[in-house]
Structure formats: structure tokens, C-alpha cells
Homo-oligomer: A and B are copies of this chain.
Amino acid sequence: MIRIRPYQPDDWYGLWAILEPVFRAGETYAVPRDISEQDAHRLWIELPRAVRVAVDDEGRITGSYALKPNQPGPGDHVANCGYMVAENARGQGIAGEMCDHSLTLARQLGFVAMQYNLVVESNETAIRLWQQHGFEIIGTLPRAFRHSVLGPVDAHVMYRLL
């Protein structure tokens, strides 16, 4: 059973343990690989409009998403969302559950579309999942991401109306 609930300050320790290895790996997020814990807290907790965590039966955090306007002013009706799943909790459908949850929450918050700015082309699992959730590849940015293993790779802009 996956439960998704609002983030609480006590969750940070468990959440950072999920975020850190993903940022350090440098394979999926346009975030400095050496980002400090403080900057990661600002990025994932302080700046977004809403943060949720996924927890398992024993209350352990297995994932999180952070939702915010993708642009300010006349672009702030389009949401952006980042998702993270703990490495030892992959393949359980958590990302898909969080995606559905974030789409519902985005609608509730008044957003009318959702945009992912940089979906790394080598992240095929994510691309397929977002497509299953109604996102389209709007376009592809040549060599827009420096993958830590693969080098420069293309990245997609993905988008859907809500």
C-alpha cells in the first residue's frame, strides 16, 4: 500500500536520504551534483508550492514530489513537478501514483497545465510513464543535459493540459 501525504519537517532526514543519491548520480536532474543539503532543502521544500511524500505500510518515506509554478506572472498557470522514488522502492508503481496525485493536486491549486522542462532522453522509464499519464513530448532539446555516464544527451520538454 502506498500512502501519499503532506510533507512535515520531521520527514527531511528520510527524504534527503532519497534525494541525495539521485542528485549525486547526475543522470536525471538538472541540479548541481554537489548540491548542499541546505540548497536541496530550499529547492525541494521551501521554493515549491506543495510537497508530498509517499510512505509505506511502516511509515517509511519511499518517495516525494514537489509542485510549483513553472514560470512566474503570466506563465504561472502552468505547473512543474519533480518526483523522486527511493532506490530500494522502485518498480512498485510509486512514481505513477505520485504522478496521478500531483495532477489532481495541481488542478485543485488552479493550474491548467503541467510541464516537465528537461526529461533526459536516456530516462526511458520516466518518459514512458509520463506518456501513460497523458504527457506529450512537445519537443526535444539537442544535447541539453550532460549525463554523468553518457555525456551530452538530448532532453525532452513534456506537457499536458489538466
Contacts and interface: CB of A to CB of B under 8 A. Distances in A.
Interface of A: 23, 26, 29-33, 35, 71-78, 112-113, 115, 117-118, 137-148, 152, 155, 157, 159, 161
Given A72-B31, A73-B29, A78 B141 contact: yes
A159 B146 contact: no
Given A78-B144, A157-B157, A72 B32 contact: yes
7 contacts: A32-B72, A32-B73, A71-B144, A74-B146, A75-B144, A115-B141, A141-B159
A139 B115 CA distance: 12
A71 B33 CA distance: 13
B26 A74 contact: yes
